[in-house]
Amino acid sequence: ISIIGSLSIIYIIMKDGRSKLSRVPNRLLFAMSIIDTCSSAAYACSTSPIPKDAKQTYGAIGNSLTCNMQGFFIHLGLGVPIYNASLCLYYLGTIRYNMSETIFSEKYECYMHAIAIFLPFVTGAMAIIFGSFNDKHIFCYLQGKCSNLISSECEEALDTYGNIMMIFLYIWYFVIIVVICTSMVLVHKTVQEKERLARKHSFPTHSLSRGNVETREG
Q: What pLDDT, on the 0 to 100 scale, is given for residue 213?
A: 46
Task: Using the predicted structure, report yes or no on whether residue 65 has a pLDDT greater than 70.
Answer: yes
**Overall average pLDDT of the 13-40 stretch:** 92
Q: Is the pLDDT assigned to residue 36 strictly greater than 90?
A: yes
Q: Give the bridge partners for 81, in sequence order.
A: none
Global pTM reads 0.84
What pLDDT does residue 171 have?
93
pLDDT digits (tens, 9 = 90+) for 126-158: 999 988 898 888 999 988 766 555 444 454 544
Q: What is the DSSP string of 135-185?
A: E-SSSEEE--TTTTS-GGG-S--S-HHHHHHHHHHHHHHHHHHHHHHHHHH
Look at residue 160 in the predicted model and tell me its pLDDT: 75
Per-residue pLDDT, 149: 53
d(CA 45, CA 25): 30
Is residue 12 exposed (0-12), middle (13-18) or buried (19+ Cβ within 10 Å)? Answer: middle
C-alpha span between 48 and 46 (Å, rounded): 6
Nearest to 161 by CA among 128, 194, 192, 183: 128
The closest alpha carbon to 86, from 209, 162, 192, 176, belongs to: 176
Please report, for residues 47, 102, 135, the alpha-carbon distance to residue 63 in angstroms, rounded to integers and kept in the order given: 11, 48, 10
